[in-house]
Structure 1
Amino acid sequence: MAKPTARFVCQSCGAVTAKWAGRCEACGEWNTITEEPVLASPTPSAKGPVRGVAFVGLDGAAAPPPRAAVGIEELDRVLGGGLVPASAILVGGDPGIGKSTLLLQAAARLARAGKRVRYVSGEESIDQIRLRARRLGVADTAIELAAAINVREITASLEQAKDTALVVIDSIQTMWLDAIDSAPGTVAQVRACGFELIRLAKAGQFALVLVGHVTKDGAIAGPRVLEHMVDAVLYFEGDRGHQFRILRAVKNRFGATDEIGVFEMTDAGLAEVPNPSALFLAERRGNIAGSAVFAGLEGTRPVLVEIQALLAPNAGGSPRRSVIGWDSGRLSMLLAVLETRAGVRLNQMDVYLNIAGGLRMTEPAADMAVAAAIVSAAFETPTNPGTVYFGEIGLSGEIRQVAQAEARLKEAAKLGFDAAALPRRVAHGNRKLAAPEGLRLEEIGHIADLVARFAPEKAKG
Structure 2
Amino acid sequence: MAKQKTVFFCQECGYESPKWMGKCPGCNQWNTMVEEKVSKVQSGGKTVKKKANKATPINCIESEKEPRVLTKMNELNRVLGGGVVPGSLVLVGGDPGIGKSTLLLQTSDQLASLGKKVLYISGEESIKQTKMRAERLGILSDNLYVLAETDIHEIEERMRDVSPDFLVIDSIQTVYNTDVASAPGSVAQVRECTGQLMRIAKSEGVATFIVGHVTKDGAIAGPRLLEHMVDAVLYFEGERHHTFRILRAVKNRFGSTNEMGVFEMKESGLVEVANPSEVFLQERTNGAAGSTVVAAMEGTRPVLVEIQALISPTSFGNPRRMATGLDHHRISLLMAVLEKRVGLLLQNQDAYINVAGGIRLDEPATDLAVAISIASSFRDQLTQPADVFIGEVGLTGEVRRVSRIEQRVFEASKLGFKKAYIPEKSLDGWTFPKGMEVIGVSSVKEAMDYALGGATHETKTAIYQSDT
After TM superposition, the score normalised by the length of structure 2 is: 0.88
Contact 2:382 2:452 in 1 (8 A): no
Q: CA deviation at 1:317?
A: 2.3
Q: Which residue of structure 2 lines up, in the alignment, with residue 310 of structure 1?
A: 310
Whole-Å separation in 2 of the counterparts to 1:188 and 1:307: 44
- Aligned-residue Cα RMSD (Å) equals 2.8
Q: In the alignment, does 2:137 pair up with 1:136?
A: yes
**Equivalent in the alignment of 2:254:** 254
Q: Which residue of 2 aligns with 1:201?
A: 201
Give the fraction of aligned pairs with identical amino acids, expressed as a percent.
Answer: 49
Partner of 1:434: 431
For the pair 1:237 / 2:234, whether they are aligned, the reply is: no
Query: What's the counterpart of residue 294 of structure 2?
Result: 294
Instruction: Tell me what 1:414 maps to.
Output: 414
Q: Deviations over 1:191-220 (max 9, x none)?
A: 110010111112222210011111222121
Deviation at 1:223, TM superposition (A): 1.9
Within 5 Å, give how 1:446-457 maps onto structure 2.
446-453=443-450
Residue 23 (structure 1) shift: 4.9
The code of the aligned residue for 1:257 comes to T
* Cα distance in 1 for residues equivalent to 2:287 and 2:371: 17
Q: Which residue of 1 aligns with 2:267?
A: 267
Partner Cα distance (2:341, 2:303) in 1: 30
Counterpart CA distance in 1 for 2:442 and 2:201 is 53
State the Cα distance separating 1:316 from its structure 2 match: 3.1
Do the aligned partners of residues 424 and 135 (structure 1) sit closer, same or farther apart at CA in structure 2, a change above 3 Å counting? Answer: same
Q: Deviations over 1:132-182 (max 9, x none)?
A: 1122121455421111111111011112333x1211001111110111121
Deviation at 1:78, TM superposition (A): 1.3
Aligned residue for 1:353, secondary structure, equals: strand
Q: Point out the more displaced range, 224-233 or 192-201.
A: 224-233
Question: More displaced, 264-273 or 223-232?
Answer: 223-232
Q: Is the 8 A contact 1:119 1:167 kept in 2?
A: yes
Paired residue for 1:84? 85
Name the stretch that deviates more: 131-140 or 82-91: 131-140
Equivalent position of 1:122 in the other structure: 123
Instruction: Summarize the alignment of residues 370-409 of structure 1 with structure 2, pairs less than 5 Å apart.
Output: 370-409=370-409
1:331-346 to structure 2, matched below 5 A, reads: 331-346=331-346
Q: Secondary structure at the match of 2:214?
A: coil
- Deviations, residues 315-359 of structure 1 (Å, cap 9, x unaligned): 432212222111122112222222222221212222111111111
Using the TM superposition, give the Cα deviation of residue 396 of structure 1 relative to its aligned residue in structure 2, in angstroms.
2.3
Retained in 1: the 8 A contact 2:89–2:208? yes
State the secondary structure of the residue aligned to 1:89: strand
**1:200 counterpart SS class:** helix
Q: Return the letter of the residue paired with 1:126.
A: I
Is 1:161 matched with 2:158? Answer: no
- Indicate conservation of the 8 Å contact 1:379/1:454, yes or no: no
Q: For 2:407, give the aligned amino acid.
A: A
> Which amino acid letter does the alignment assign opposite residue 155 of structure 2?
I
- AA aligned opposite 2:443: H
1:451 Cα offset (Å): 3.2
Q: What corresponds to 2:329 in structure 1?
A: 329
Q: Which ranges in structure 2 are unaligned for 5 or more consecutive residues?
A: 455-468
State whether residues 11 and 33 of structure 2, in contact with CA within 8 Å, keep that contact through their aligned partners in structure 1. Answer: yes
Preserved contact between residue 296 and residue 303 of structure 1 (Cα < 8 Å)? yes
Compared CA separation, residues 150 and 27, structure 1 to 2 (3 A)? same
User: 1:73 aligns to what?
Assistant: 74
Please say if 1:443 is aligned against 2:440. Answer: yes
Q: Name 2:180's counterpart in structure 1.
A: 180
- Counterparts in 2 of 1:369 and 1:177: CA distance versus 1, 3 Å: same
The alpha-carbon deviation at position 448 of structure 1 amounts to 2.3
52 and 61 in structure 1: CA distance in 2 versus 1, 3 angstrom threshold: closer
- 1:32 corresponds in structure 2 to 32
For the residue of structure 1 that corresponds to 2:197, the secondary structure is helix
Q: Sort the Cα spacing of 1:41 and 1:395 in 2 relative to 1 into closer, same or farther, 3 A.
A: farther
Query: Distance between the aligned counterparts of 2:330 and 2:205, measured in 1?
Result: 45
Query: Is contact 2:182-2:189 (8 Å) kept?
Result: yes
Local SS of the residue matching 1:344: coil
CA distance in structure 2 between the partners assigned to 1:340 and 1:42 by the alignment: 71
1:178 and 1:59 mapped to 2: Cα distance?
40
* In structure 1, distance between residues paired with 2:49 and 2:114: 50
What secondary structure, in the 3-state scheme, does the structure 2 residue paired with 1:148 have?
Answer: coil
Determine helix, strand or coil for the equivalent of 1:425. helix
**How much does 1:434 deviate?**
3.0
CA pair 6-408 structure 1, distance change in 2 beyond 3 A:
same
Contact 1:159 1:204 in 2 (8 A): no
**Separation of aligned partners in 2, 1:411 and 1:437:** 12
CA gap 1:52/1:358 in 2 versus in 1, 3 angstroms:
closer
Asked if the contact 2:263–2:272 (Cα under 8 Å) also holds between the matched residues in 1, the reply is yes
Q: Say if 2:290 and 2:373, in contact at 8 Å, map to a contact too.
A: yes
Letter in 2 for 1:152: H
Q: Indicate if the aligned counterparts of 1:108 and 1:141 stay in contact, CA closer than 8 A.
A: no
Query: CA separation of 1:58/1:307 partners in 2, compared to 1, >3 Å: closer, same or farther?
Result: farther
How far apart, in 2, do the equivalents of 1:49 and 1:267 lie?
52
Equivalent residue letter for 2:149: A
Q: Unaligned stretches of 5+ in structure 1?
A: none
SS class of match (1:212): strand
Letter in 1 for 2:216: K
Q: What's the offset of the Cα at 1:37?
A: 5.0
**Deviation of the 1:10 alpha carbon:** 1.3
CA contact (8 A) 1:342 1:451 kept: no
Tell me, yes or no, if the aligned pair for 2:309 and 2:352 is still in contact at 8 Å: yes
- Structure 1 partner of 2:20: 20
The TM-score, its normalising length taken from structure 1, stands at: 0.90
Per the alignment, residue 460 of structure 2 pairs with none
> What amino acid maps onto 2:103 in structure 1?
L
The 5 Å alignment of 1:137-152 reads 137-139=138-140, 142-152=143-153
Query: SS at the partner of 1:202?
Result: helix
CA distance in 2 between counterparts of 1:69 and 1:145 reads 22
Q: Distance in 1 between matches of 2:41 and 2:218?
A: 34
Q: Deviations over 1:384-420 (max 9, x none)?
A: 2111112122222222221111111111111111121
Alignment partner of 2:233: what SS?
A: strand
Cα distance in 1, alignment partners of residues 177 and 64 from structure 2: 36
Judge conservation of contact 1:214–1:220 (CA < 8 Å) in 2.
yes
How many pairs are equivalent? 449
Whether contact under 8 Å (2:90, 2:231) holds in the other structure is yes
* Alpha-carbon distance in 1 for matches of 2:115, 2:344: 63
